Chain A
Amino acid sequence: MGYALDFGWLNGAIGMIASGAVMTVFLIVVTSIAGTLLSIFGAIGRRSRHAILRKLVAGYVELIRNTPFLVQLFFIFFGLPRFGIRLDPVTAAILAMTLNMAAYSTEIVGAGLDAVPKGQSEAAKALGLRPRTIFIKIILPQALKVIFPALTSQIVIMMLESAVVSQIAVRELTYEADMLQARTFRAFETYFVVTLVYLGLSIALRKLLYTAGRRSIAGGMA
């Protein structure tokens, strides 16, 4: 077996890998925030009095959850221009990721809202608080506290799925790996290193969200 692993290229490649990782982190930060916000609206819509709104949200959730992310991405990037909607790769990626994540977290947030005892909002209503204040100040913080672990997992899953946005030429971690690989002809070593970077990112992301979640949600807001 004449093959010897060669990591000699790595020195010159650290810059590319780092810039790819920065893009991956950027994508997931924007997506997490936008996706969580959207899913709060989704969960409210799902519990709306209006049947049309309920059906609409349910349809969106089912559509996204039952088709692959890659197909959604291709559809948004290559298919939507037919209606004059042209998004640059990064915007298309953020839109696809946000829509995808929100479909999953709509269910998660909804479960959290349902977990808050009814008595809470009734008590608040008795105190004369407006419905919106009750929702933002009382219900939502408690719901988020319950669902934070599930939300964290969903964010990590989304970060890992974001590897496929390299397919529409977003210059994130996988894209840079593909570029390096085409230049060095060292496919295995390149993907090995980048996989480790992903592993590091997902461990760090989980830790970060866990500590942040414990501090701000369990401590401060509730």
Chain B
Amino acid sequence: MTLKTTLKSTFAALLLLGSAGIGFMTSDARADAIDDITKAGVLNVGVFADFPPFSSASADMTLKGYDIDVAQALADSLKVKLKTVSVTGQNRIPYLTEHRVDLLMSVGYSKEREQVIDFAAAYAPYYIAVIGPKALEIKNKDDLAGKSIAVNRGTLEDTSLTAAAPASADVKRFDNYNSVIQAFISGQTQLMVVGNDVGAQVLSRQEALAPEQKFQLLTSPSHIALNKKEDRLKQAINDAVAKMLADGSLNKSSEAWLKTPLNPANLKD
């Protein structure tokens, strides 16, 4: 082997690597998303992995919860398999816009988000609540002054808390729900801001801390989010959610996971 052949083979290896990479390329003249999904036979849905009772790990490490029920029903209605992809508050919008996932669950509506992504039907009630220990008196947003508060960065909780909290509030932004909840439970922050149902899961397990819901910051039902200009997919999702509402299966999931019957009035922004 001479140096030249070594270099040549290195170069060839690089070329191979490169062309293998090109194999992954997505064509930009995209067919309709719904055609892609049917063709692949798989619906990729971005969900949180640490977001009980909407989506969290079970003993065999599969994800379970309200969001997973709904995602499964959507896949069934499109007659494809469901593949859940676990995302964080921070990376999920890029995941969607870069077509790593077809849909996102648990996305609250905001104007900023609407510039980048599209919203299909709302499917779950979501109340963003301030949660803290019983011993700490918090009645409204002014009481947040000087308190340390854990929140998941880049989520609607983050933006609504940032807008509401006085300047002296010490907002600690974490990367995922796991860290938010752990920071609160371990006493690293005095308060946390999460959905009230997520909070309820935590509350029921922490006798020592005796946490309770202090007040609600925002009511913002969870939507299914998708990329812009995917009108056929959006229609299909909206139809599927409407059907789940009509046949009572959404209500069943609500009773199973959120422990309360579903009130369709709570699905309005």
Instruction: State yes or no: do A and B come from one complex.
Output: yes
Contacts of A175 in B (CB 8 A): 173
Interface size range on B against A: 20 to 34
- B188's partner among A1, A86, A179 (CB-CB below 8 A) is A86
Contacts of A178 in B (CB 8 A): 90, 153-154, 175
Contact of A166 with B175 in the complex, beta carbons under 8 Å: yes
Contact of A168 with B186 in the complex, beta carbons under 8 Å: no
Give the number of A-B contacts (CB < 8 Å).
55
Contact of B173 with A169 in the complex, beta carbons under 8 Å: yes
Q: Which of A20-28, A42-50, A151-159, A180-188 contacts B (4 or more CB under 8 A)?
A: A180-188
Contacts of B188 in A (CB 8 A): 77-78, 81, 86, 88-89
Bound-complex Cα distance A169 to B180 (A): 10
Most chain A beta-carbon neighbours within 10 Å: one of B90, B154, B188: B188
Q: Tell me, rounded to whole Å, the shortest Cβ–Cβ distance linking A2 to chain B.
A: 7
Contacts of A86 in B (CB 8 A): 186-188
Contact of A167 with B28 in the complex, beta carbons under 8 Å: no
Tell yes or no: A132 within 8 A of B by CB.
Answer: no
Bound-complex Cα distance A79 to B187 (A): 11
Bound-complex Cα distance A78 to B94 (A): 29
- A169's partner among B89, B90, B94, B172 (CB-CB below 8 A) is B172
In the complex, per-residue mask of B77-110: 1 if CB is within 8 Å of any chain A CB, else 0: 0000000000001110110010000000000000
Bound-complex Cα distance A2 to B26 (A): 13
Tell yes or no: A82 within 8 A of B by CB.
Answer: yes
Bound-complex Cα distance A178 to B94 (A): 13
Q: Tell me, rounded to whole Å, the shortest Cβ–Cβ distance linking B148 to chain A.
A: 8
Do A81 and B186 contact each other (CB < 8 Å), given the known contacts A169-B173, A178-B90, A179-B173? yes
Contact of A78 with B172 in the complex, beta carbons under 8 Å: no
Contacts of B210 in A (CB 8 A): none
Bound-complex Cα distance A178 to B176 (A): 12
Contacts of A168 in B (CB 8 A): 174, 179, 183
Q: Tell me, rounded to whole Å, the shortest Cβ–Cβ distance linking A201 to chain B.
A: 22
Identify the closest chain A residue to B98 (Cβ): A187
Q: Tell me, rounded to whole Å, the shortest Cβ–Cβ distance linking A3 to chain B.
A: 9
Contacts of B187 in A (CB 8 A): 81, 86
- B116's partner among A1, A181, A185 (CB-CB below 8 A) is A185
Contact of A82 with B173 in the complex, beta carbons under 8 Å: no
Identify the closest chain A residue to B175 (Cβ): A167
Bound-complex Cα distance A169 to B152 (A): 10
Tell yes or no: B182 within 8 A of A by CB.
Answer: yes
Bound-complex Cα distance A16 to B180 (A): 23
Bound-complex Cα distance A166 to B89 (A): 15
Bound-complex Cα distance A169 to B91 (A): 16
Do A182 and B179 contact each other (CB < 8 Å), given the known contacts A81-B187, A89-B172, A168-B174? no
Q: Tell me, rounded to whole Å, the shortest Cβ–Cβ distance linking B176 to chain A.
A: 9
Contacts of B183 in A (CB 8 A): 77-78, 168-169
Q: Tell me, rounded to whole Å, the shortest Cβ–Cβ distance linking A209 to chain B.
A: 31
Identify the closest chain A residue to B171 (Cβ): A169
